[in-house]
Amino acid sequence: MPGLDDLYKEIILDHYRNPRNQGELDSPPAHRTEGFNPLCGDEVTVTFEISDNSLSEVRIAGHGCSISQASASMMSAAVKGKSIDEVREVTRRFKAMMSIHEEEIGSEASEQTSDEVFELGDLEALKGVVKFPVRIKCATLSWNALLTGLGELEG
């Protein structure tokens, strides 16, 4: 049975208590996108600026549980300054980590997964969320909002 320690890693609680890149950029010129979790009422607003095909600035606002807030904070740190292609790649990998099938829970991660997780850095701390399926939407809320925002941009 997964315990609370699997979910609430210290680094997650640190991002929850000290969220990075908080606030909102003026939009326009920044792009603005929102995410809602209809199950629990959590809301996130992501504002970001693109220059030279890179995500030069990003801010996170809204309210939610420790998992959604920490994930948003960690996302902002992970994508800031990255090229749009890199942002899409880290988002893809993060969402792949969040969609591990239940039968794999508790089993040793495959080589490939380890590789991907290694590249995700701090985000690896959120891996435990998949053991608590109802919380996965909390962790992916801000990522889906960012993806929607990037999609609108290319639109």
Judged by the rule CB under 8 A, the positions of this chain that interact with other proteins are 1, 3-4, 7-8, 13, 16-17, 39-43, 63-68, 132, 135, 138
Q: Which pair of tokens denotes residue 140?
A: 């992916």
- Least Å distance, CB 65 to other proteins, is 4
- Least Å distance, CB 142 to other proteins, is 15
Cβ closest to other proteins, residue 40 vs residue 100? 40
- Least Å distance, CB 8 to other proteins, is 7
- Least Å distance, CB 27 to other proteins, is 22
Cβ closest to other proteins, residue 65 vs residue 77? 65
Cβ closest to other proteins, residue 19 vs residue 149? 19
- Rounded to the nearest 5°, which phi and psi values hold at 56? -80, -30
CB 138 within 8 A of CB 41: no
DSSP states along 92-152: HHHHHHHT--GGGTTSPPPHHHHHHHHHHGGGGGGGGGGGSGGGHHHHHHHHHHHHHHHHH
Cβ closest to other proteins, residue 1 vs residue 118? 1
Local structure of 29: helix, strand or coil: coil
